[in-house]
Amino acid sequence: MSVSSDSARDLLVDLVSIPSPSGEERAAAERLVEFFEAHDREVRIDDVGNVRAPADDRVLLTSHIDTVPGEIPVRTENEVLWGRGSVDATGPLCAMAVAAVSSGASFVGVVGEETDSRGAWHLIEDREEPDAVINGEPSGWDGITLGYRGMLAGTYVATSESGHTSRPEPNAIQHAIGWWSRVEERFAPDEDEEWEPVFERVTTKPVSVEGGTDPDGLSVSATLDGQFRVPPSLTIEEVREMAEHELYSSSNRSSGRGPRDGELGPDTDAAGTVNWGRPIPPVMESPRTDLARAFRVAIRGEGGDPRLLRKTGTSDMNVYASAWDCPMVTYGPGDSDLDHAPDERLDLAEYDRSIAVLREVAKRL
């Protein structure tokens, strides 16, 4: 069934106008359901809040419904739509929905991508593998994203006895700072490696730090949340082992109390522990699949010069690739430099072109 340009743009404006930060996607999900029902498609909202419109599984079109917080007044000026989510990823989401209706392909709008990817994790556990996946994130209408780094998040926790601040022994706060300093040094590029692209490196980022004397006045505690972005050249397990190795101070290692050769043993002595979250492995897809070739042909057909991209962040494609062994790409309209930005905006002509590309790709598959 064809979808008019006016209907496609109305869907986009409506969904950008509906606030949908992670955990509050229901109203936007219901608008998506209305769109599919209006075009005579089977559709439902599943147990976690995903919008699922099953159909031809030769290709699954999917993107995320949620956005990051932040209110940007919705307006259209000179064929440009301003508003939170217009780029990340309501624009790609709507393009996927329109193309799914036009082509008869399967569609899923998932929840929680900006936080824990709970919608994507639920999906891989609750349905069979499709023949191909097109994940919706901004790549520019002429760009095809084939790779993402993985992510490992951990929370460091340490506790020490309280004492006068003049005492030389480190407290829990110093232990937390020391661990993170050693982690950053461990993963810092050597001088001869600084030319290496960010995509090929592990990068570290502290997200939050809390610490101080506990209410009982008898102890000091510290908590540090950190993230590691992992390139395809390494596994999540390798990065986790290296980070855990740095739990042991250099003095402990040199005195023999810490791990040797990167291995942790029962007699080691660490000041704190790390509780790891669910890991998201890196992904790097081949540009030689039928899916990638179909995108290159479709983009050229619209007058573009296809660009093959690798992203330094992480997306739901990482989750799908961890469970499904089928060709995938990530694609969608919008400038990814505007992700989460206060001036987030989408060129409507680019949105129209991305729909045309998706329709052609689905036709070829």
Which of the residues 113, 114, 285, 352 is marked catalytic?
Answer: 113
Instruction: Give the pLDDT confidence score for residue 189 in this predicted structure.
Output: 87
What does the pLDDT look like over 252-274, one tens digit per residue? Answer: 444 334 444 444 443 345 789 99
Q: Would you say residue 186 has pLDDT above 60?
A: yes
249 — pLDDT class (breaks 50, 70, 90): low
Judgement on whether residues 192 and 265 belong to the same structural domain of the protein: yes
Instruction: Give the pLDDT confidence score for residue 193 in this predicted structure.
Output: 61
Q: Would you say residue 220 has pLDDT above 90?
A: yes
Question: How many structural domains comprise the chain?
Answer: 2
C-alpha 161/C-alpha 172 separation (Å) is: 8
* Known catalytic membership, residue 66: yes
* Known catalytic membership, residue 113: yes
Last residue of a domain, one of 242, 276, 310: 276
C-alpha 130/C-alpha 30 separation (Å) is: 25
What does the pLDDT look like over 264-300, one tens digit per residue? Answer: 443 345 789 999 999 999 999 999 999 999 999 999 9
C-alpha 144/C-alpha 255 separation (Å) is: 51
Q: What is the dihedral of CA 157, 162, 167, 169, to 10 degrees?
A: -30
C-alpha 218/C-alpha 162 separation (Å) is: 5
Judgement on whether residues 83 and 116 belong to the same structural domain of the protein: yes
Instruction: Give the pLDDT confidence score for residue 257 in this predicted structure.
Output: 40
Nearest to 203 by CA among 223, 227, 232, 237: 227
Q: How many CB atoms lie within 10 A of CB 166?
A: 5
What's the average model confidence in pLDDT over 304-331? 97
Instruction: Give the pLDDT confidence score for residue 167 in this predicted structure.
Output: 82
Judgement on whether residues 43 and 130 belong to the same structural domain of the protein: yes
Which of the residues 25, 66, 137, 285 is marked catalytic?
Answer: 66
Mean pLDDT, the chain, rounded, equals 93
CATH number at residue 77: 3.40.630.10
pTM: 0.89
Nearest to 249 by CA among 268, 221, 266, 274: 268
Instruction: Give the pLDDT confidence score for residue 252 in this predicted structure.
Output: 47
Last residue of a domain, one of 251, 276, 301: 276
Judgement on whether residues 139 and 168 belong to the same structural domain of the protein: no
The CA angle 136-129-41, to the nearest 5 degrees, is 65
Last residue of a domain, one of 237, 257, 276: 276
Domain that holds residue 320: 5-148+283-364
Judgement on whether residues 252 and 333 belong to the same structural domain of the protein: no
Judgement on whether residues 11 and 83 belong to the same structural domain of the protein: yes
**Alpha-helix residue ranges (DSSP H) falling in 137-235:** 172-187
Judgement on whether residues 332 and 358 belong to the same structural domain of the protein: yes
What does the pLDDT look like over 73-114, one tens digit per residue? Answer: 999 999 999 999 999 999 999 999 999 999 999 999 999 999
Using a pLDDT cut of 70, give the percent of the chain over it: 93
Q: Would you say residue 6 has pLDDT above 80?
A: yes
